[in-house]
Amino acid sequence: MTDTELREEVRTRYADAANAAAAGETACDCCHPGSTCTEEGHAFGPELYQALESEHLPEAAVLASLGCGNPTAIADLHEGETVLDLGSGGGIDVLLSAKRVGPTGKVYGLDMTDEMLALAIRNRDEAGVTNVEFLKGYIEEIPLPAGTVDVVISNCVINLSTDKPKVLAEMHRVLRPGGRIGVSDVVADDGLSPEERAQRGSYVGCIAGALSFSEYSDGLRTAGFDDVTITWSNTGITGIHNAIVKATKPSGGAGPSSGRSLPIVQGCC
């Protein structure tokens, strides 16, 4: 497929998921190496969020949770911070972030799918959250000025991009100096070729387009990030892992990073 065809396939998949969640159905056809959210013992989607009941989230936001992790649990958000969620879907991570940054903070959710944006706005209004704004656009072309946000989060979305270096560069651009990322994603072993990744799962299923560990860490450093760490756990597919990706934008703000990177660590919380 061409890049345009891949993007359209992704958009269609997530439009269908949004429609299912809006109808009160679990959107199980998700960013997941199996065909449903419960097959093969994988914990994807709502299963990865603990104590959701205590968060008082709209049901449709929970049903539309299609990610491979819980980035709000790893981003260490603080009162008053500005957060950007790339590929915000039904808004679950945006709403959770909004609670953590409080009324003096701000959270942007960015998504390319009209159906997901409509669902997210409905969920925001139902939750009565006032410090959230949803934006339509592509993660390769973030519609925010440079130096706008303190934290960028994302949940199993970067692997779906057809231009990942541009996504990483855009993340760096919109962060303020000293800002950070907390990303949940699917990552492949370095020994797996692109062809071998495609044999293990489809692009829209978050497998064929996954970066390897080295590609991810090298890409972040090339984009200008420091303190890169990737912490992983197995998903049940040989060579394919859920991963927590963290990095910081140097306080100086600009230019390629010094290359400072911490080791990749096995074992995810």
Pick the more confident residue, 25 or 110. 110
- Residue 57: phi and psi, rounded to 5, are -90, 150
Average the pLDDT over 11-17 and give the result: 76
One-letter identity of residue 160: L
pLDDT digits (tens, 9 = 90+) for 71-103: 666 788 999 999 999 999 888 889 989 999 999
Enumerate domains of the chain plus CATH numbers.
Answer: 3-266 (3.40.50.150)
Average pLDDT, the chain: 81
DSSP run (H or E) holding 222: helix 213-223
What separation in angstroms does the CA of 209 have from each of 64, 112, 127, 219? 22, 18, 34, 14
Residue 5 confidence (pLDDT) above 60: yes
Supply the pTM of this predicted model.
0.82
The confidence score (pLDDT) of residue 225 equals: 97
Confidence (pLDDT) at 266: 53
pLDDT tens digits for 157-205?
Answer: 999 999 999 999 999 999 999 999 999 899 999 999 999 999 988 888 8
Give percent of the chain above pLDDT 90. 51
First CA to last CA across the chain, in angstroms? 36
Residue 29 pLDDT greater than 60, yes or no: no
The pLDDT of residue 6: 82
pLDDT number for residue 23: 67
What confidence score (pLDDT) does residue 43 get? 38
pLDDT tens-digit map of 47-68 = 444 444 445 555 554 544 555 5
Give CA–CA dist 107/240, Å, rounded.
Answer: 31
Contact 185, 209 (CB under 8 A): no
- Could you give the CA distance from residue 256 to residue 250 in angstroms, rounded to a whole number? 10
The answer, yes or no, to whether residue 210 has pLDDT greater than 80, is yes
| pLDDT at position 20 | 73
